[in-house]
């Protein structure tokens, strides 16, 4: 076996369901975004929250609809992701 970990050299890991996405390990780099930037980029690439928002009905009317549903959904989802990481 060339590499006991089963991974090849320094090549990024590609995902089978979308070859445009790649995963890279950069050591123990510390971030201040609690890892949410990776989730946001993945969401942007796969358009997951956009797909969900297309199925939601927004009952707000008038001035109550100041913020778009996509942003509100992302805030809710990412807030839960942070809560599970602490």
First vs last C-alpha separation in the chain = 38
- In a structure prediction context, what are the per-residue pLDDT tens digits for the chain, which is 86 residues long? 445 555 555 666 666 777 777 666 666 666 666 678 888 888 888 999 999 999 998 888 888 788 888 989 999 998 888 887 65
pTM, two decimals, is: 0.55
> What's the pLDDT at 1?
41
Q: Are 84 and 34 in contact (CB under 8 A)?
A: no
């Amino acid at each position: 076996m060339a590499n006991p970990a089963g991974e090849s050299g320094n090549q990024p890991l590609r995902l089978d369901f979308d070859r445009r996405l790649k995963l890279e390990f950069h050591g123990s780099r510390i971030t201040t975004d609690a890892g949410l930037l990776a989730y946001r980029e993945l969401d942007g690439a796969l358009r997951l929250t956009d797909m969900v928002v297309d199925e939601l009905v927004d009952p707000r009317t008038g001035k109550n609809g100041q913020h778009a549903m996509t942003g509100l959904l992302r805030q809710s989802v990412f807030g839960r992701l942070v809560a599970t990481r602490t």
